[in-house]
Amino acid sequence: MPLFWDRHVYPLLLEWVCSTRSIVAERARWLARVRGAVLEVGVGSGLNLPGLLPGVVTRFVGLDPSPALLARAAARPVQIPTTLVTGAAEALPFPAAQFDTVLVTYTLCSVGDPARALAEARRVVRPDGQLVFVEHGAAKAAGRLRWQRRLTPAWRAVAGNCHLDRDIPRLIEAAGFGLAELDARDTDASLLSYAFSGVAVPR
Ligand SMILES: C[S@@+](CC[C@H](N)C(=O)[O-])C[C@H]1O[C@@H](n2cnc3c(N)ncnc32)[C@H](O)[C@@H]1O
Q: Is 44 in the pocket of ligand 1 (CB under 6 A)?
A: yes
- In the chain, where are the structural domains located? 3-202
CA of 3 to the centre of ligand 1 (A): 17
Give residue-wise pLDDT tens across range 150-203. Answer: 999 999 998 889 999 999 999 999 999 999 999 998 876 566 678 999 999 999
3.40.640.10, 3.40.50.150, 3.40.50.300, 3.40.50.1000: CATH of 3-202? 3.40.50.150
Ligand 1 contacts CB of residue 69 (under 6 A): yes
Residue 9's pLDDT band (boundaries 50, 70, 90)?
confident
pLDDT on residue 84: 98
Q: Is 47 in the pocket of ligand 1 (CB under 6 A)?
A: yes
DSSP symbols for the chain: --HHIIIIIHHHHHHHHTTSHHHHHHHHHHHTT--EEEEEET-TT-TTGGGS-BTTEEEEEEEES-HHHHHHHHTS--SS-EEEEE--GGG-SS-SS-EEEEEEES-TTTSS-HHHHHHHHHHHEEEEEEEEEEEE---SSHHHHHHHHHHHHHHHHHTTT--S---HHHHHHHTTEEEEEEEEEE-SSSTT-EEEEEEEEE-
pTM over 0.85: yes
Report whether residue 93 contacts ligand 1, using a CB cutoff of 6 Å.
Answer: no
Over residues 23-59, the pLDDT tens digits come to 888 999 999 999 999 999 999 999 999 999 999 999 9
